[in-house]
Structure formats: C-alpha cells, structure tokens
Structure 1
Amino acid sequence: MEFLGSIFEIGKNALEAIGKWVVYINSLDANMKNLKRKIEYLSCQEDDINTELSSAERSLKRRKQEVEVWLGEVKTVKGDVRTLQRLEEEVVGWKHVFSRARLGKLVMEKIQEVEELQVKGTFSNGLLIDALPTSGWSRPTMGSFGETTSERNMEKVWEYLMDDENGAFVSAQEVFGYLRQLKVLGAQFLNVQELASFVTSQQCQALENYRLKVGNNFEYINNSVGKEVHAISFDSKPFGIGVDSLVLPSNIEYFGITRCEDLISLSDILSLRDAGHLRICLLQYCNGIESIFSSSSFSEDCQIPLRIVEELRLLDLPRFRVLFDGVVPPHNISFNLKKLYFYRCSSVMNIFPDRLLQNFPNLEELTVSDCENVEDIIVEVEMRYQGHHQDDSNTITLRNLKSLRLGKLPILKNIYKGIMVCESLQDILVHSCPMLRRLPLSFHMNSGHASAPPGQHIRGDEEWWEYLQWDDPHTKTTLQPLFIPFHKI
C-alpha cells in the first residue's frame, strides 16, 4: 500500500506539472500580446523620464542613482522582449510544443518583471536630487583667496570657483577686489542687488565667459554654454525688490530661472530687451508665470525681447497659459525660435494660434508632454487686427519643422484642423493621446501618388495608429512603412 501511495503521489505531481505546461502553451499568444502592450507602456514611461532628465542638463539638480539603475533595467528587459518575439516566430506548430511551453513560461515571468519595473518607475519622490548636501559642509568666503590671487595662481582660483562642490557666497566688491585679472568667472551672488552691481561693472564687461548664479542656495549645474545666468529662488526671494531690478549682461547666451513665484511674464524682465545674444532660455517650477510676452512687451521703439532666442524650455509651470498674453506681434516681425518644449504645463490649452506661425519661420522642434488640458496644438483663431492679411485658406506651412513629439495629452483632439505642409518633417512621435484621430499632413505628389519625405518615421501606440482617420485613403498606405510601434523601438 505504501508503494501504491508513492506511485499515486508521483502521478499527481506529474499531472500538476503537465497542467502548468499546458497552461503555458495555451496562454502563450494572449500573454505575448499582453507583454507587447505592457512593454509599449513601459517605453512611454521611459520616454517621459528621459524627457524630464534631458531638462536636467539645464536644471539645478542631478539625477538619482536609482533612476540610472532603472533605465538600465528597462533597456535590458526591452532587449529580452525582442528576443522572446523572435523566438515566438520560430516555435510555430505542435512539433515545437515543448519549446512553446518553455517560451510561455518565460513570457509569464517577463510580464511580471515588466510590471515591477512600471511600479518602480513611478519615482514618487522625484527623479532628481540636490547635487550637494544642505548641511554639514562649510561655505568659504572670498576672503580665503586673499593670498592666492596673484597672477601666477589665477588658474587655481578659477578651478576652485568653477567647482560646484566648493561654492562661495560673494559680494560684488569682493569680486572687484580679488578677480580683476580673470577672463572667465563662476560666482554666486546672494541677491539681485549684488548681481546688478557686478553686471554693470567694467570687470563683468571684460569677461570672456561666465557662469553667474543668484540666490542663497548652492545648486549643481552640469551644463556650460559660455555666458550663463541662473536665477534661483527657494527660501529667499531674489526678486523680492521687484523683478525690474534683475539686471542681466547684454551678451548673455543662457538664462535659467527656477522657483520664482512673483514673475507673471518673462518679458517683465526689462533687461532682456538688451540681451541680443541670448540663445537658450529655461523656465521651471515657477508657480506664478502665465506667459512669455505680455501687453507691455512691445515698446513704442519696437524693441521686442527674446527675438533671437533659439531654444525655449517650459517645465512644471502650473499657471502658464499662452506664449502671448493680450498682445499680438506684427506680421513682419520674425522670431528665431527653433526648439520649443512644454512639459507639465497644466493650464495650457493650445500652443499656437495659426496666424502666429508666420512669426516663427525657423521652428524645427516642437515637444508637448504631460499637459493635461491641451486640446489643440495649432488652433484656428479669427484675428482682426491691423497689419495682418486675412484669407480663407486652412493650409499652413512649417517649412523647417523637423520633429513633432506629443505625449500624455489625454484630451488632445487636433494637431491642426486644416492641412499642414511640413517638407522637412522627419520625426513624429505620438503616445498616450487617445482622442487624437487625425494626422493633418500634406505630402508631395509623384505621378498622382502621395510620397513622404525621405527618412521620415512615425512612432506611436499601435492601437492609436489603427484607429486614425485619413482625409485621403491612400495616405495610410503611404505612411504604413514609416510607422514604428513602441514595442519594436
């Protein structure tokens, strides 16, 4: 009887094992589709995190080590999923029944791994941390350089100043006294008055390059473009004496502003009118700002600020609504803007009125992500104001647009209701835009057939692609070879 009991137990275990393998086989197709869908969402999550981290190049923080680890794990798991997809194509039919069973088991395990990565990737405490500790370290004064500012030791002073781990609060007078011979300077000023005093001095005008910060927090900045000013407002309020008092060097090339609560419009900073070399501008974590240009932006002498800016990054601005607030630029005024990024600007409903696109002929990249109230990217608006030519055409031309990226826009309905002619467009990315049902693109006609620009590709959610509506039935046929689903990226 004991022997028979053992035989029965062995048989029972064998049946349970066989049952599991049968489940692996029968559920393989459904699980593989589920895995593809989950890896698509994980890729979207990865794209969003990379978008936010790219702003860290302009920000005052550094990425957490756990974020780096997570990105590495995502890269590995995406490679594993591609391998599983290839294996699925190879083990077709019952002659590969055991291989399909093993593959089914691997797919189920990989689904669990992807789900765990999705949870880990929420990073509820943020992606970035302070580069330096907030306490437990000393803050030397410029007086500590008193014995080393001779000509032979000037290089040592510069190395010390440009090391963000060795910050020092300075006054304008200390800079004047100790650093007369420098051509390159990195310094942090405690308030706007000290910055203004230095910027208007001969010493500042003689500098070849500089990185100037204002605010009472030492923050890590890992980029350098040459001539930079970073305004930081945390516990203190560097703009407390009035935003008009912020004085910037006339040859500034990069301007970043973080956590300024009382700034309503960027153009309120009057010294930007004289910033004729400004190329990059970053606004982030400013709860009060609503626009770039206000009604006071365009003076009677036609001095319009920010006309030559090439790159504008708008990040985490909860009240930001429009680029132009209560003002319309003359039709003969062109802005040099090439790259425009919106990220987590929850009050924005549209990016451009269509009639204003003529003022931005050089636009090359447009990215809009995590803006929950955006309904249109380009909106048709009836404008009756002096100096603008009106016509009935609903076709717009963006001659230099190369990249259009839209992500996590839950109520986005239209990129544009009319037709867009974008001869240079190469990169189109759309994800998590469930209400977007149309791509308003116009294409070249060759022998009566539409043809896309060479090298163009479209990335997006596969389900979104299948439900798109087309003005011309041949357009989807033309674009189908260019479409890359997320799970194949």
Structure 2
Amino acid sequence: MNKMVIIILDDVWNRLCLEKLGDPLSVEGYKLILTTRSNEECLKMGCQKLLKVKTLNADDAWELFRKGLGFETQLSPDIEIVAKSMAERCEGLPLGLITLAGSMRGVTDIREWRNALNEFPKDMESDVFKVLKYSYDRLRDTTMQECFLYCALYPEDRKILRDELIGRFIMEGLVKGSSREDEFNHGHTILNKLVKLCLLEATDDWGADAVRMHDLLREMALQITTDKPRYLVRAGIGPQVLEEQDWVSNLDRVSFYHSEIKRIPEGMAPNCPTLSTLILCNCYLTMIPGPFFQYMNNLQVLDLSDNSELMDLPSCISNLESLRALSLRGCEQLKSVPPLGKLKNLRVLDVSYTGIKEVPQGMENLVKLKVLGMGGIHLEELPKEILPKLSHLQYLNLPLCMNAPAEDLTSLEQLEEFAGRFCDLHNFHKFMSSQHKYEKVWCYDIFVGQGNSLHLDTFVLKQRRVIVGDCTIEAATSIFLPRGIDILKIWKCHGLSSCFVENFLSRTTSSRGLTCRIANCDEIEWIVNVPSDRDTTTDPHCISFHSLEVTDLQNLVGLCKGKIASHTFSGLTKFEIRYCSRMKKLFPQAMLQDLKNLEVLYVLGCSEMEEIIGREEGEGSSQSSSTSTIADFPKLKELKLIDLLELKSICEGKLMCDSLEYMKFARCPKLKRLPFYTPTTNERPFPSLRQIEVDDENWWERLEWEQSHVKTLFQPFRSLEEIEDDCWE
C-alpha cells in the first residue's frame, strides 16, 4: 500500500541541503512544503510551485481586529467607524491587526481613538514593521518599552521563563520595589501588560510560566536597537569568533546568549565606555583574554553563567566598580574569583555550581548585596564577619555541605528567600525563632540533618519546603515550621511515636494545604495523634494535608488517633502508603466524611493490611450492616492496590466513585469482592473510566460484585498486565 508522506519546513531563511535530510524528494510519495518570507529562497530550493499567502480581505481583517479588542471593549457606532479605518490601514496583515488591536484594548473614549488614528502612519505599504512599531510607540512608558526590547536579547523563538526574565529586570534596575517580592510583582505586571497588548505571547516551559517573542516582533525590536538604545545581538547562533570591529563605542547591551564562541582573539579589548549589559552565558567559553573588560567602565551586568569549561577570569573584573550583577553560575571548572572588594555597587552575586572552595576575597565589602547564590559549591563554612555585614540580603542560597550559621542569619532582617542546611534541630530552632518575629510569608528550602544523609535532594527555591532527615527528636519536642509551608519531608528520624500534633506544628500552611512525605521512621505508630485531653478542632497550629505519602513505617498502626480537626484531611487529594507492615485498617469509618476531595489512592506492600475502609468498632460482618453503608469518594480518579496479601475488603458496604479513570490490582489473593456501586438513576455511570489493569485473569473472573452489571461496564476497560513492584509512580 503506497503512503503519501509530507514534510513541512517552517520559516526557512536560507537554502537547505536536502541531501542532509536524506534527499526525501528522491523517494516516491514524498512531498516537501516550506514556508518562507523570501521568494529568493524558494527559487534557490527549486520549488516547483509557488503560492503567495494573501493578506486578509476587509471583512476578515475587521473580524480579526474586533476579536483582538476583546469583548470588554464596547464600540459605539462612532468609534466603530474610526476602528475600521485603523484596521484598514493594516493592509490585511494578521500580526499587525492582532498587535494593533491589543494596543487599543479597553479604550472606549472616541477622542483617544481619533488621536490614535491621527498618529497612525499613512504610508503602510503592507509594511508590518510600521504597524508593530506604532504599537510599540503607543506604550508611552519607557520602562515597558525597555523591558520589551530586553526580550530581543534572547535567541529567536526562545521560551523565556518569567522568573528568570524578571530576575534580569531586577539586575538591570528596570523594576522597582521596597522588597524582592514587590520587584517581582512589578515585573509580572509589566509582562502581563505586554502579553495583553500582544507584544509578547504567554506560554509555558515544562509547566513553568514563560513568555515568547514572535520572530517578527523580535526583528522589529532589533531594528529599533540599531540606534538608541544600541544593541549587539548574536544570541543562539552557531560557531563564531568575536570580531572587535562589531563592538562599536556606543553599545548599550550585548548578548551572545546560548551561542558557540569558538574563540576570543588574544588581546581583544573592546572600547565600549557606555556598555551596561554583557551576556556571554552558555557560550562554550574556555578562556577570556586578560584585557577584555578593560574599557567597559560602565558595565553594570556581566553574565558568564553556564560556561562549564571556563577555568580563569581576567583580573580586570576587580575594577568594574559600576557592576550591579555578576553571574558565574554553572562555571564548573572555575576554581577562584578575582578580588571583589572594589565592587561596592554589586547587588547580585551568583557563584552557584562553580568549582570555588573559598569565599571570594573582599566579599565583606559588598554591603549593597541583595542576592547571593552559593548553592552547589564545596564551601564548608563562611567567615563569621561576612553575613552580618550583608544586612541588605533578600535572597541567600548556601551550599548543602555547609552548616548554616544560625546566629549570623538572625541579623538578616530583609531576607525573603533562603536555602540552606542546619546540622541539627537546635540550630534550626534558633533560626526559626528569629523569623517568627516578622509577619511575612517567605520562600525557603531548608534541610535539617547531616549533609551526607541528604545527598539525594537539591535545593529548589520559589517554594516553601522543609526536609528533616536522620535526626533524633525527643517526644516532648515541639518543632515550629516556617509560615506558609508547602512541603514537609521527614526521613530516618528517631524518637517519634507520631508526627502531628505534638511534634511538628505550623503557624500556617500554604493555602492549598501541606504536601507531606514520611519515610523510614521505625518508631512512628500514628501520623496524627491527639491526646485524649486535647481538642484540636479549633487549633490554628493543626496541619491541613493536601498530599500525604508514607513509606517504610514499620511500627505504624493507623493514620490518626483521638479527636482531630475536620480540616486535617478534608483537603487531601492524594494518599500513598507503602510497606507499612503492621497496619491492618487504612481508613476508619469516622474519617470518610473528611475524604471527599481524595483523587488518588495508592496502597502497596502493606503485608498485614486487611481493610481499606474499616468497619466500625464492634461491627460484625452481617449482610444488613454491609448493605446499609455507602462510602462516597466523589473525586477519586486513580486507585492502585498492589501486594496486599491479607486484604479481604475494600469496603464492607457500597463504594461510590463515579470519577474513576484508572485502577490497578495485583497480588491481592484474599480480596474476593469489589464493592463499586452506582445508583440505577445514573444514566452514564463511570463516564471517565479508561483502564483497569489486573495481573490475574482467574482472580478477576472469580470476583463477587456489589452490582453485577458493574462488571459488565468494567469489562471493556480491563487489561491483563504483568505488574511489578517497581511500577509505583
């Protein structure tokens, strides 16, 4: 059977050698389509048929323009006449129409519309750049214009992480605020406006918020920056040698972001007295000539990050007294940094993941420093005089091998983001006591324990996480966690018979609740244990769970004991339990009303587990009691029961869970009955179900069912799989 294969090459700028693609046109049935803005490239490629993409007709152009204005922009008949005149001047160019409409979104005053039309160039001649430039000019905010132009320093079509970009805005002094949080809020406000005005596109990069600049808008930005401000941009370009003649004296910003620089000529020293920003990150640099920075006296931002083979820095860096930001992050072979004592204007210093083992000389003089990144370096201690002198620090990331100096940290009253390790709970307590003085919710990634015990984890900022590992915790010890905590991990801790309520306390968790992981704590009997003389229903320090994962708690007998607050588990969406060999009953009946938001339930390798939903104390196994009880998990989507050799019952009564999407059953030989139930009035039972995996066909066929027709409903989704222990996700 002959197949037609079509290869599409989008946005071609230069002639391509088809032989490098395997010469697809020599194969019968293969077709090649390319898009380009250059008719000449079509001719060079030998295209057999040329199709010019026509501009939009008047009706389609108006429809696109009107859509770009948004439904919130109400147009009176008079305004509509002016708006149609503006749309007509875009000559049917889609990007021009979208961008121009974005710049007029929300404008309802006819005088402003008439003024915009009056300012609009009359000689478009299908020149999209003039339309785009007009939208840029309408910003009328120099900071927003500068932030927009700054995005052109990145490679074409690059997804730019918002936090990274705003971090650069902060380095440049483009955004203002009395705190780091205020600066980020200002940065997000600017990016939101640029997205709303269609000058940037909102996107994401592996789930993280990002923006992207359309290649035509980037090209327009580069045209603007040929004059004032003056940019030299060679970002994302292949192997190249720096040429001194490109470095004209009136340059403002230079970017070789993610370019391969084969060589910087020996003795090269560009005369760039106005240059304020130089980005040479991820450029495969191995050396920088000694005099390279000699005539860059106005340099304020120097980014040399991610040059993993760079071993030395020119000593003239020590004389860049205007420098506000110096990033050497990821220069793994860099063993030392020139003296920094003269750089008293420095606000940002990042030496994370470099090879340095000593504090840079003169660092105690950097009294304006706000951001200090030292994560991932082999530095075991800081000289005592340094941190107290850096009183303006807002962001501090210390290496995992260092015991964070709790006493020195207490002097950093402006600290908003912190990552570091405390060797024991005493030092952690000392630091936390100082932070509880301030009514602020900050970002942190804190490890408590010995560094060699925590090698599996790396620091991640922009979250609120505490990891406690390999510590001895006395029964009467109360550990106050930081405000707004998102994630708590407790690992290989000794002396705990329960985690909550007596030991781990929090003034507030995050708004969505706590993600908690507890593993290898052999003495824990209960996750939440409320003493008989205590009522936690109104306790502000009581934890509220969002996700709970427990692993290898060999003495665990139950999740909770005593009178717990209903909100403790009411927000729980995911629960995983593995290898807890003493536990016989997972959920007591009294807990069911608090599990309405549970979406994912995994139970693995609990060798003594007999019931998922336990019977009431004293309840027998009579038919009347089993049929009268209905357990409802309205949001449950995933259920996995694996290696539960003693499991006899999921639920003695009926189990309603109409949101189920996926189930997996393996090696549960004593489970004889599935209690799934759907009311007869339900016309579409289990509408989201897509797969049921089982490891034993005979086991499935012998099962008893609460409702026989449910087996018929499930049958099309069942598949026989060999399910391993390590399939746990």
Q: TM-score range by the shorter chain?
A: 0.5 to 0.7
Query: How far does residue 363 in structure 1 lie from its aligned partner after superposition?
Result: 1.2
Partner deviation per Cα, 1:122-172 (whole Å, 9 max, x = no partner): xxxxxxxxxxxxxxxxxx999947843626665453545788975211221
Partner deviation per Cα, 1:197-218 (whole Å, 9 max, x = no partner): 1112149956731111111234
Residue 452 of structure 1 corresponds to 686
Residue 393 of structure 1 aligns to which amino acid in structure 2? S
Matched, 1:484 2:700: no
Match of 2:576 among 320, 334, 341: 341
Contact map agreement 1:215 1:238 (CA 8 A) in 2: no
What SS is found at the alignment partner of 1:434?
Answer: coil
Contact map agreement 1:239 1:245 (CA 8 A) in 2: no
Match of 2:446 among 209, 212, 215: 212
Cα separation, partners in 2 of 1:330 and 1:372, compared to 1, 3 Å: same
Residue 148 of structure 1 corresponds to 363
Mapped to 2, the partners of 1:211 and 1:409 lie a distance apart of 36
Match of 1:283 among 515, 518, 531: 518
Percent of residue pairs bearing the same amino acid type:
24
Matched, 1:172 2:409: no
Contact map agreement 1:343 1:368 (CA 8 A) in 2: yes
Cα separation, partners in 2 of 1:256 and 1:243, compared to 1, 3 Å: farther
Contact map agreement 2:542 2:568 (CA 8 A) in 1: no
Matched, 1:258 2:491: yes
Cα separation, partners in 2 of 1:374 and 1:367, compared to 1, 3 Å: same
Matched, 1:412 2:647: yes
| Greater C-alpha Rg | 2
Matched, 1:308 2:540: no
Residue 191 of structure 1 aligns to which amino acid in structure 2? D
Contact map agreement 2:535 2:564 (CA 8 A) in 1: no
Mapped to 1, the partners of 2:690 and 2:606 lie a distance apart of 26
Match of 2:677 among 429, 442, 461: 442
Contact map agreement 1:286 1:317 (CA 8 A) in 2: yes
Cα separation, partners in 2 of 1:446 and 1:291, compared to 1, 3 Å: same
Match of 2:463 among 219, 223, 226: 226
Query: How far does residue 311 in structure 1 lie from its aligned partner after superposition?
Result: 0.5
Cα separation, partners in 2 of 1:222 and 1:172, compared to 1, 3 Å: closer
Superposed counterparts of 1:275-424, under 5 Å: 275-277=508-510, 278-296=513-531, 298-299=534-535, 302-303=538-539, 306-325=542-561, 327-329=562-564, 335-382=570-617, 393-424=628-659
Query: How far does residue 401 in structure 1 lie from its aligned partner after superposition?
Result: 1.2
Mapped to 2, the partners of 1:433 and 1:469 lie a distance apart of 14
Mapped to 2, the partners of 1:323 and 1:408 lie a distance apart of 20
Superposed counterparts of 1:83-162, under 5 Å: 144=359, 147-148=362-363, 150=366, 155-159=371-375
Contact map agreement 2:398 2:404 (CA 8 A) in 1: no
Contact map agreement 1:265 1:291 (CA 8 A) in 2: yes
Query: How far does residue 354 in structure 1 lie from its aligned partner after superposition?
Result: 2.2
Query: How far does residue 332 in structure 1 lie from its aligned partner after superposition?
Result: 9.0
What TM-score does the superposition give when structure 2 sets the normalisation length?
0.42
Contact map agreement 1:445 1:451 (CA 8 A) in 2: no
Partner deviation per Cα, 1:225-245 (whole Å, 9 max, x = no partner): 711111111xxx4425x5524
What SS is found at the alignment partner of 1:358?
Answer: helix
Query: How far does residue 459 in structure 1 lie from its aligned partner after superposition?
Result: 1.1
Mapped to 2, the partners of 1:351 and 1:311 lie a distance apart of 16
Cα separation, partners in 2 of 1:166 and 1:375, compared to 1, 3 Å: closer
Query: How far does residue 316 in structure 1 lie from its aligned partner after superposition?
Result: 0.5
Contact map agreement 1:196 1:248 (CA 8 A) in 2: no
Mapped to 2, the partners of 1:370 and 1:402 lie a distance apart of 21
Residue 635 of structure 2 aligns to which amino acid in structure 1? N
Query: How far does residue 369 in structure 1 lie from its aligned partner after superposition?
Result: 0.2
Contact map agreement 2:480 2:506 (CA 8 A) in 1: no
What SS is found at the alignment partner of 2:628?
Answer: coil
Contact map agreement 1:375 1:412 (CA 8 A) in 2: yes
Mapped to 2, the partners of 1:175 and 1:145 lie a distance apart of 19
Residue 465 of structure 1 corresponds to 700
Residue 438 of structure 1 aligns to which amino acid in structure 2? R
Partner deviation per Cα, 1:31-89 (whole Å, 9 max, x = no partner): xxxxxxxxxxxxxxxxxxxxxxxxxxxxxxxxxxxxxxxxxxxxxxxxxxxxxxxxxxx
Residue 354 of structure 1 aligns to which amino acid in structure 2? Q
Contact map agreement 1:403 1:427 (CA 8 A) in 2: yes
What SS is found at the alignment partner of 1:255?
Answer: strand
Query: How far does residue 443 in structure 1 lie from its aligned partner after superposition?
Result: 2.5
Mapped to 1, the partners of 2:653 and 2:367 lie a distance apart of 65
Mapped to 2, the partners of 1:485 and 1:312 lie a distance apart of 29
Mapped to 1, the partners of 2:649 and 2:566 lie a distance apart of 25
What SS is found at the alignment partner of 2:483?
Answer: coil
Query: How far does residue 402 in structure 1 lie from its aligned partner after superposition?
Result: 1.3
Residue 7 of structure 2 corresponds to none
Moved more, 198-207 or 315-324: 198-207
What SS is found at the alignment partner of 1:442?
Answer: coil
Mapped to 2, the partners of 1:157 and 1:324 lie a distance apart of 41
Match of 1:193 among 423, 426, 429: 426
Over the residues paired in the alignment, what is the CA RMSD in angstroms? 3.6
Query: How far does residue 407 in structure 1 lie from its aligned partner after superposition?
Result: 0.5
Aligned residue-pair number: 338
Contact map agreement 1:345 1:371 (CA 8 A) in 2: yes
What SS is found at the alignment partner of 1:478?
Answer: helix
Contact map agreement 1:148 1:154 (CA 8 A) in 2: no
Contact map agreement 2:481 2:506 (CA 8 A) in 1: no
What TM-score does the superposition give when structure 1 sets the normalisation length?
0.61
Q: Please, which runs of 5 or more residues in structure 2 have no aligned partner?
A: 1-354, 378-395, 620-624
Q: Please, which runs of 5 or more residues in structure 1 have no aligned partner?
A: 1-139, 385-389
Mapped to 1, the partners of 2:629 and 2:680 lie a distance apart of 19
- Ranked by relative contact order (alpha carbons within 8 Å, sequence separation 6 or more), the top structure is 1
What SS is found at the alignment partner of 2:373?
Answer: helix
Partner deviation per Cα, 1:407-464 (whole Å, 9 max, x = no partner): 00011111112110112111111111111121110135479x8843233421111332
Cα separation, partners in 2 of 1:466 and 1:412, compared to 1, 3 Å: same
Partner deviation per Cα, 1:243-300 (whole Å, 9 max, x = no partner): 5242311222211111112111111445525233252111110011010222328536
